[in-house]
Structure 1
Amino acid sequence: MSIWSGLFIAAALLLLNAFFVAAEFSLVAVNRASVEADAESGSLRASRVRKLLENLTVYLSGAQFGITVSALLLGFVAEPTVAKILTGGTSHSGLSVFIAVVFATSLHLVLGEQIPKYLALALPRRTAFLLSSLIRIYGKIFFPVVALLNYCANRILNRLGVEPKSEISASHTLGELEHLIEASGDGGVLDSEEVNLLRRSIRFADKTVADVLVPRVEVQALQKQDSVRKLVDLSVSTGFSRFPVFGIDLDDIQGVVHVKSVYNFPIKKRFSLSVKDLMNEVLIVPETRDLDDVLTDMRESRNQLLVVADEHGGTAGIVSMEDVVEEIVGEIGDEYDHMEVKTRAESLGSTIISGKLNLYEVEESTGLKIPEGPYETVAGYVLFRLGHLPEPSEIIETEGWKIEVLAVEGLRVANLRIVSPADFKAKGV
């Protein structure tokens, strides 16, 4: 074979190898949802790519077969051709063969492998659309060979207890979606607010009423014999508009009252009424009920305040529409709310937080990821770790973080200071 013939054949094989590599990586990397949408809108090229993706393993096997054959032939042709160029057509020396192999291999890796791979990964959609017709033609021609090789490979996998898949799954678990969102945030595709909103939306599916309820000890309630004046005063002092109504005690919830119900009566009659004259039927849900089901309950019953029962038949707390929605969008306040500051950054880098914060809120505001356990709040975690009601200044450590108790109100851990490992080092702690 002459040098020119060898160069021409080597260039053709190099181009063929690049084609197969680009075809393989573009089919794997292309956005399937985008292809589906374009195919549904009538795009012919998108329809061709969709058909390739529906039988992806066959076409990937075909591409691998093409890469293997073209690479072997390229080595067979390129090495002696380059050696002839180095020696001027005379007998090959050991050094010329070595140089020829290194040169041919480098050319193959750069032009036949790396460049088409990076091009396909950078522009998967355009590459797949451009090559789809050639891939289909090649697939039809070599289908018998590829089908035989696939059959052999699948038989081996079956013997190993692995079930072969005909196409790559485009679906993701919630955990995988959360990692994708975090990666998008780190890469600057999403801003911090968008990342937090999407993360909350994903975690919402795993939450129950117990994660968001207002605990019994914090419930503001009225007795059914209480006057309308007391209802109005309680609404003004708390900023709330709905209250549970009980008979004997909080385990005897009989209804829910809205302060606006007062305006259904004439002015002269309003303050002669009691709360039981204004209350509506109450809906009671278990604390294990999923939040998405609670939203359905609220929509169907048209009641935005539900009472939560524990497993012993007592009242565990209450949950409002606002409590549920805040799990997705974050803290909501209006001009009538008495907003409680739950976190406050200190000048030295540490953060003071309320013991009421749940584990996700702690991670979101400080970066500290508390392991899950038999507790819902950071205060519960501190009690779990210490095994007793702490005194102010008591400290626990977890994975390099320091949690210091600042205030205890009655039997409740009210405020804590969170110090990160970086703050430890900065302060020389």
Structure 2
Amino acid sequence: MLLSAFFSGSETALMSLNRYQLRHKARQGHRGAKLAERLLARPDRLIGLILLGNNLANFSAASLVAVIAFKIGGQPAVALGTLILTLAVLIFAEAAPKTLAALYPERLAFPAALIYYPLLKIMYPIVWLINAASNGVLFLFGVRNKGSDLHSLTREELRTVVHEAGTRISSRYRQMLLSILDLEKVTVDDVMVPHNEIVGIDLDSSDDAIEMTIAKSQHTRLPVYRDNIDQIMGILHLRHLANLVPTEFDRESLLSLLTEPYFVPEGTPLSIQLVQFQRRHQRIAMVVDEYGDIQGIVTLEDILEEIVGEFSTDPADGENDVVKDIAGTFLVDAGANIRDLNRSQGWELPTDGPKTLNGLIVELLETIPQPTECLKINGYPIEIVESDDNRIRSVRIGQRLHSGTKTN
């Protein structure tokens, strides 16, 4: 009975081990974990060994009970003995040890591995024959043994692992890990400064206007262009201006300080763009569409803030995109980025389409709505507060009611 309980419990314990925790302990030098990892590398052999021992113990016990019962009370005693043995095996050799093993797999698996590993060496010929026969039967049913290598986790599986880490990882670090996993789903379009908000130096402007732009700039790098941003000449690092004597400042000296602009196609995932910034030793890039027109600017800081959150003062933060209004509603700038709104307010507005609230509403209504018009997006009641001929300027958003898409 004890042997049967050992084989049943250790089987459950070994098969219940977390393979990633097992690998971690094995790399740390834990002897039991090392042996368990070797045994689980060929689970067919391990199972064959355990079943051989378990069945040998159970059948031996059954034969012994039958012989003793027959000598004591004949055929009726054999039937009674079989019933009692069955109940005893189910309780003491199956249910109880397997439950214990499922609750504390490492406590049972690692000591058991110390026994199974040398036992497998001794019993290898018999185990090999059993495995050959069982694998042959599986082969007839189309099952192939492809090994038991540890499969790579998908992104969603990794997210689940991070979530289940609980208190082992602080909430801040857990959010950073989740943000890293989400980089592949976020593109440069989602974090770039849009075309109409780019601050730069127009060489067609007057000298006073150029000097004023430089003096008031809250950025360390500015695009330099003629007439419009699509005619970009290069990128100016304001630090380089410190080397110029104020009396020597002119357009020619300014042009000599420019570096070549770096262009990236729209739709580039942030995970790829982060690597490109690192390889090219760049910190700023111009996002262009398929026609070569500049759609916006993305910086290394924008990508890092997707991972760690806001860590520096952004000039755009001075503009209050969201103002709490009466009765728990919010007055929102329709030009605000949807992902930023979701992150700052905890909302769940759709992010798989337009990037701004204005674009999302116009796409759903297929027209520019008039003030006082109402709609509902993903359960959020939205009222148009201000609009003009070409865009929505501000809206009022209420508390989420229930799932929905659009109602006029």
Normalising by structure 2, we get a TM-score of 0.78
Who is 1:62 aligned against?
A: 49
Q: Deviations over 1:126-153 (max 9, x none)?
A: 5443222211123223334443444445
2:163 to 182, 197, 222: 182
The within-5 A match list for 1:353-392 is 356-359=336-339, 362=342, 365-366=345-346, 368=348, 370=350, 372=352, 374-377=353-356, 379-392=358-371
Name the aligned partner's letter for residue 139 of structure 1.
L
2:218 to 233, 239, 260: 239
Q: SS at 1:256's partner residue?
A: strand
CA contact (8 A) 2:66 2:81 kept: no
Q: Quick one: distance in 2 between partners of 1:149 and 1:371? A: 56
Name the aligned partner's letter for residue 368 of structure 1.
E
Name the aligned partner's letter for residue 374 of structure 2.
E
The within-5 A match list for 1:7-406 is 10-26=1-17, 29=19, 31-39=21-29, 44-71=31-58, 91-92=76-77, 101-120=86-105, 124=106, 126-155=107-136, 157-158=138-139, 162-184=143-165, 187-227=166-206, 229-234=208-213, 237=216, 239-270=218-249, 276=255, 278-334=257-313, 338-341=317-320, 356-359=336-339, 362=342, 365-366=345-346, 368=348, 370=350, 372=352, 374-377=353-356, 379-392=358-371, 393-398=373-378, 401-406=379-384
Distance 1:197 1:160, change over 3 A: farther
Distance 1:119 1:405, change over 3 A: same
Q: Following TM superposition, by how much is the alpha carbon of 1:281 offset from its aligned partner in structure 2, in angstroms?
A: 1.9
Q: Following TM superposition, by how much is the alpha carbon of 1:201 offset from its aligned partner in structure 2, in angstroms?
A: 0.6
Distance 1:349 1:58, change over 3 A: farther
Distance 1:167 1:96, change over 3 A: closer
Q: Following TM superposition, by how much is the alpha carbon of 1:280 offset from its aligned partner in structure 2, in angstroms?
A: 2.6
CA contact (8 A) 2:62 2:82 kept: no
CA contact (8 A) 2:5 2:94 kept: no
CA contact (8 A) 1:403 1:417 kept: yes
More displaced, 286-295 or 192-201?
Answer: 286-295
Name the aligned partner's letter for residue 159 of structure 2.
E
Q: Deviations over 1:81-102 (max 9, x none)?
A: 8x99xx9999549889766644
CA contact (8 A) 1:226 1:274 kept: no
Q: Following TM superposition, by how much is the alpha carbon of 1:179 offset from its aligned partner in structure 2, in angstroms?
A: 1.8
Report the aligned-residue RMSD.
4.1
Q: Following TM superposition, by how much is the alpha carbon of 1:314 offset from its aligned partner in structure 2, in angstroms?
A: 1.0
Q: SS at 1:225's partner residue?
A: coil
Q: Following TM superposition, by how much is the alpha carbon of 1:238 offset from its aligned partner in structure 2, in angstroms?
A: 5.7
Distance 1:20 1:142, change over 3 A: farther
More displaced, 216-225 or 275-284?
Answer: 275-284
Q: SS at 1:31's partner residue?
A: helix
Q: Deviations over 1:57-101 (max 9, x none)?
A: 4224433454455455556667998x99xx999954988976664
CA contact (8 A) 1:282 1:307 kept: yes
Q: Quick one: distance in 1 between partners of 2:236 and 2:114? A: 68
CA contact (8 A) 1:181 1:198 kept: yes
Normalising by structure 1, we get a TM-score of 0.75
Aligned residue pairs: how many? 399
Distance 1:249 1:317, change over 3 A: same
CA contact (8 A) 1:231 1:259 kept: no
Name the aligned partner's letter for residue 52 of structure 1.
L
Gaps of 5+ in 2: none
